[in-house]
Structure 1
Amino acid sequence: MHTLEQVRQRIAASSAAEVVAGSLARAHEIAALGAFVTVAEAPVGGSGSLAGVPVAVKDNLDTRDLPTTGGTPALRDSRPGRDQHAVERLRAAGAAVVGKTNLHELALGVTSNNAAFGPVRNPHDPSRSAGGSSGGSAVAVATGVVPVALGTDTGGSVRVPAAHCGLVGWRPTVGRWGTGRTVPISRTRDTAGVLATTVADAATVDELVTGQPAPTAGEGPLRLGVPRTGFYDDLHPDVAATARHALDLLADAGVELVEVDVADAHELDAECGFPIVFFEVALELPAYLAGLPGPEGRLTFADVLEQVASPDVRGALEFAASGSVTEAVYRANLVVRERLRAAYTAALRPADGGRLDALVYPTVPLPAPPVGDDDTTELNGRQVPVFLTTIRNTGPGSTAGMPAISLPAGATAAGLPIGVSLESLPGDDGRLLAAAARVEAVLAGEVRA
């Protein structure tokens, strides 16, 4: 893995062309991990703070010069001829896009076991999932192909692979990184994000995309809420031990840990999260297709669904197409979502005025599952649903549209990475990134060990 500064130093010592060539060679070297759908032939960077720095882009974010497949057969040859906002901003800073990364088909899953383009394998153990849906972007960073890679996050799709691959995964507030020019799932929940090796690099990308200055570390005591109920229940033993140790380290470093309750967070998310997605994807995917310049612009939702290769994605889209979630049901669930947002506000901004900087919890309740565990996997001696278990902690805040960041916190006895997440209220992105930098500094020695 390499930081942005390390890559800049290599460019200064040799040349941008040499560094980009090395990135392309490395992308081909790790082909067995399934990280890329498309590797560029001769990408060229520009001038700016990222001049010549190689970056990778998840293959559901539009790029002007490479296909955007969404990881699904119907869009295999789609060339939108335009850049998504975050891609555009990184190119404006001089970055060279070296390829498009593999993902869970249409970003509708958490394993990146893509039946059309092949599975994305965990670089720490290729028999394990890299996580999803931004699995390819995580592997591209974890294997040193690029220092940063763009992903998307609807229910945990940046943070889950970050946790499983030992990276930082940043999900900004919905809308902060622009909208559109992305194969969509849900306008309420979708956002582009970034996978990186450090919080500083994630903050640098955030600054480039938004134009807002990167946060400083901040002063005064750091106050983190610990939402035990729901977020710390039924964890894999190694995840539980890592989370306990992380909290101990933070407390020893002077961080104030406050026991809080995000009232009914998981119940409210279970009630409204999926209905919102199913209603919105049935509207937004056709709208995206209609805006494509090639023959893909004539595709319908049914056309895409007919060619979907991954059984779990097919089932989700069939339900979305069924019309079971009517507009009345959708509107009612947006009201439930407001109750969920209010629960987070009450936890982070309590009536007594004791404002918290963020919530802290294990990103994923279990380590990376084996490739092929698409429906269920083992947790604490029993079979549990992979999707619902994996997004148990990342899902509620995603439905609420909140920013969150996953940080490396340790590893299992077998060497599989484990992450912890910080999460705050919409619009508090700068404050959250500053808090994450301070937490990272406390946990860094443990992760290196």
Structure 2
Amino acid sequence: MTRPPHDDPQRAWAYRPERPLEGAPGGPLGGSTFSVKDLYGVPGWPLGASTRAAVPDPGDSVLVSRLLALGASAVGKTHLHEIALGITGLNGHGGTTHPHDPARVPGGSSSGAAVSVALGQVDFALGTDTGGSIRVPAAWCGVVGFKPTKGHPGWSTQGVLPLSWTCDHAGPLARDGATVARVHAALTGHDVPRQDWAGVRVGLWLPEGWTDAAVADAVMAYAHSLEARGAAVERVAFPEVLDAYSPIVLSEAAHVHAAALAQDDPGFLPFTLGALRQGQAITDAEYAHAFERRAEYRALLDGLFTAYDMLLAPAVPTPPPLIGQDEVDIGEGRVPLRRAVLRITAPFSLLGAPTLALPTTTPFVGVQLVARHGQDDRLLGLGLALEDAR
């Protein structure tokens, strides 16, 4: 059983009790440990969402209770990008740094979660994903991240402080897919069988200019490895969805944090406060129009899955950027970091499709495998087959 260290140079840990919450004896996850992103309500543990602002109490997490009942032990809470509204790990407590390079970001918002598994401090971590917040830190820290189908009964968001009830997902990060599959199997009550890639139809989504050369090469190499396993890979197109994603998330986040925003000094970092004020300014008509656009994008995604079994895409546009870096250089030029990342990851949280982030042979560059809604087990099984090959 792993234990978190006494020191924490990456500032990954928000709360570490003297003793872990021990899992029930005899469960299928017995002997394993996990960290909890500090959005989950845990009885007796504080909830701060890595902010100096006051946040609502979501109640106790159903998912944490289930994992404890299944035998896993919770060792503490991890830091996140403030209130989960960001993709670097910046927060009101100094921010979390990369597990292997202190000059770089680990990704967010589940930054501490990714660091805790990358450093072997726990066997798996609970994160949340609203626009890429499991997949981005998984990719930049070289671990595996899983965003299940929206509303999956095994991965409850009840008792988790929301950012956007439309887009929020709960899910795990781990050093390998076998651990993710084991946790998923324990929660669902049935095993995840390995899947054969022979005959699998894969749509390769790699928009021209949206990544740097290192990421593009890594994704193409991954596509070739799938072809070598018998998959049929073809390029596909899909639009940028931020015109629907951003109004929904910012409006809902402002609603969640309305009480703090009513204070003279809410306590948020300037970027977070600015984003929440932007959310407050979104009109009902703009919010409704964003859902109309979301429905159009869902129809496009469903259409792709009539022709393809899986999608393959980059999980990040570049390797991990430097702390404080606001722009990245990619194929189409210099682009704001937030937009460069979110336009790659946000479609699958906005639309609720199950997505698995896997490392590549290029350090700290990951890919996404995306499946049809409800095909979580098949997605994880295909991931296991790739892990066996590695």
Interval containing the TM-score (normalised by the shorter chain): over 0.9
Matched with 1:346 is 303
Bigger proportion of residues as helix: 1
Q: Distance in 1 between matches of 2:85 and 2:192?
A: 32
- Among 58, 67, 80, the alignment partner of 2:46 is 67
Aligned 1:352-363 pairs, distance under 5 A: 356-363=308-315
Q: Does 1:316 align with 2:280?
A: no
Q: Distance in 2 between matches of 1:380 and 1:393?
A: 14
Does the 8 Å contact 2:139/2:364 carry over to 1?
yes
Aligned 1:7-406 pairs, distance under 5 A: 19=1, 23-24=3-4, 26=5, 28-29=6-7, 31-45=8-22, 46-47=24-25, 48-75=27-54, 82-114=59-91, 116-176=92-152, 177-209=155-187, 211-219=188-196, 220-228=198-206, 230=207, 232-262=208-238, 265-266=239-240, 269-286=241-258, 299-303=259-263, 306-309=266-269, 311-321=270-280, 324-350=281-307, 356-373=308-325, 375-379=326-330, 383-406=334-357
How many pairs were matched up? 385
Q: Distance in 2 between matches of 1:224 and 1:58?
A: 33
Q: Distance in 1 between matches of 2:158 and 2:178?
A: 26
Does the 8 Å contact 1:44/1:52 carry over to 2?
no
Larger radius of gyration: 1
* Residue aligned with 1:100, SS: strand
Q: Distance in 2 between matches of 1:252 and 1:426?
A: 26
Q: Distance in 2 between matches of 1:105 and 1:400?
A: 24
Structure 2, unmatched stretches of 5+, are none
TM-score normalised to structure 1 length: 0.81
Does the 8 Å contact 1:279/1:327 carry over to 2?
no
The change in CA–CA distance for 1:96 and 1:212 in structure 2 (over 3 A counts) is: closer
Q: Any idea what the Cα deviations from partners look like across 1:196-217, whole Å, max 9, x if unmatched? A: 12222112222333x2423212
Q: Distance in 1 between matches of 2:57 and 2:285?
A: 36
Matched with 1:447 is none
* Residue aligned with 1:194, SS: strand
| Letter aligned with residue 371 of structure 1 | I
Aligned identity (percent) is 35
Aligned 1:407-426 pairs, distance under 5 A: 407-411=358-362, 416-426=363-373
Matched with 1:291 is none
Which portions of structure 1, spanning 4 or more consecutive aligned residues, are displaced by more than 4 angstroms? none
Q: Distance in 1 between matches of 2:150 and 2:262?
A: 28
The change in CA–CA distance for 1:360 and 1:440 in structure 2 (over 3 A counts) is: farther
Structure 1, unmatched stretches of 5+, are 1-18, 287-298, 351-355, 445-449
Shift of 1:305: 6.9
Does the 8 Å contact 1:305/1:318 carry over to 2?
no
